[in-house]
């Protein structure tokens, strides 16, 4: 993927933006990882939507949240859809309250993530990075192709304990207040479909079979279809909202004219 190097609010960021001007703008949050984990989505969705992702040198929770807020503020986004996964879902929900965010898509729903001590975390990360079979067992489905796992390990930057712990300490999920979908991978050992249903008792939950934590990388075709179907429903919502706003503005203008005559 082609990332430009920019500075935003004093932070150096790697920034990706591509695709045509569109009613929706799709923003993929990196969370605790680097944005290359979304490579299949960035390539697919940039054909029809203005598609955005980014990465910072300082990947801790508060920095990630601040950079995401500044991108939403400074990039002229009117109808942003925030896509996140795992521990990054908490940032997605915090961004939901912004006026120019119309919907969120969370991948997986972790209820109580475990904070592992550094003395256990660091050796485990080193081992998982060097042993694709162990990494597959922990994060992918049993039927996943090893070639996919190995390629993922080439693309991903596993987070330091400081970054991981900053996200765990800030993690809190609640029922969304705007339009939202949860994509639940059935073989994700860290997420719960019961937690997804608790958050979304009346909303959209899309289940992907035979996919683990990184379903968007393991089963990109199925993941992309689920996300595209949801985005298509939002395009109609945006059109209806814009018509309503225009009618309200015209009504206000008419009232103003009547008052001044």
The model's pTM is 0.90
In a domain, 206, yes or no: yes
Joined together, the tokens standing for residue 127 give 């081992």
CA atoms within 13 A on the CB side of 16: 25
Share of the chain above pLDDT 70, in %: 91
- How do residues 236-247 score in pLDDT, each as one tens digit? 778 766 544 444
In a domain, 259, yes or no: no
Q: Residue range 191-216: average pLDDT?
A: 89
- How do residues 22-40 score in pLDDT, each as one tens digit? 999 999 999 999 999 999 9
In a domain, 238, yes or no: yes
In a domain, 260, yes or no: no
Domain of residue 121, CATH code: 3.40.50.1820
Range of the domain at 240: 4-253
In a domain, 177, yes or no: yes
In a domain, 121, yes or no: yes
Give dist(CA 144, CA 64) in Å, integer.
31
CA distances from 34 to 56, 73, 173, 208, 257 (A): 8, 22, 22, 23, 53
In a domain, 130, yes or no: yes
Sign of CA pseudo-dihedral 118, 120, 121, 126: positive
Domain count, the chain: 1
Q: Residue range 89-102: average pLDDT?
A: 95
In a domain, 246, yes or no: yes
Strands (E), the chain: 4-8, 11-18, 25-28, 50-56, 80-85, 101-107, 179-185, 204-208
Q: Quick one: pLDDT at residue 257? A: 52
CA distances from 151 to 2, 89, 112, 155 (A): 18, 24, 29, 6
Q: Residue range 217-239: average pLDDT?
A: 92
- How do residues 133-177 score in pLDDT, each as one tens digit? 999 999 999 999 999 999 999 999 999 999 999 999 999 999 998
Joined together, the tokens standing for residue 31 give 């969370």
Enter the DSSP assignment of 78: S
């Amino acid at each position: 993927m082609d990332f430009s190097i920019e500075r935003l609010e004093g932070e150096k960021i790697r920034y990706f933006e591509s695709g045509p001007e569109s009613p929706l703008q799709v923003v993929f949050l990196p969370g605790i990882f680097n944005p290359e984990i979304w490579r299949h989505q960035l390539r697919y969705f940039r054909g029809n939507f203005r598609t955005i992702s980014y990465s910072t040198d300082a990947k801790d929770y508060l920095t990630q949240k601040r950079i995401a807020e500044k991108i939403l503020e400074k990039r002229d986004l009117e109808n942003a859809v925030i896509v996140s996964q795992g521990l990054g879902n908490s940032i997605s929900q915090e961004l939901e309250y912004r006026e120019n965010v119309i919907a969120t898509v969370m991948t997986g729903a972790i209820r109580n993530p475990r904070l592992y001590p550094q003395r256990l975390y660091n050796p485990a990360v080193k081992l998982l990075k060097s042993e694709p079979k162990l990494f597959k067992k922990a994060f992918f489905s049993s039927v996943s192709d090893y070639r996919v796992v190995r390629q993922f390990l080439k693309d991903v930057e596993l987070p330091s304990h400081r970054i991981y712990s900053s996200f765990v300490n800030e993690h809190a999920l609640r029922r969304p207040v705007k339009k939202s979908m949860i994509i639940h991978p059935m073989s994700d050992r860290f997420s719960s479909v019961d937690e997804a249903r608790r958050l979304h008792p009346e909303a959209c939950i899309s289940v992907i079979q035979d996919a683990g934590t990184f379903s968007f990388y393991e089963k990109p075709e199925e993941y992309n279809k689920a996300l595209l179907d949801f985005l298509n429903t939002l395009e109609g919502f945006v059109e209806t909202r814009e018509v309503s706003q225009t009618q309200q503005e015209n009504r206000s203008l008419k009232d103003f004219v009547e008052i001044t005559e």
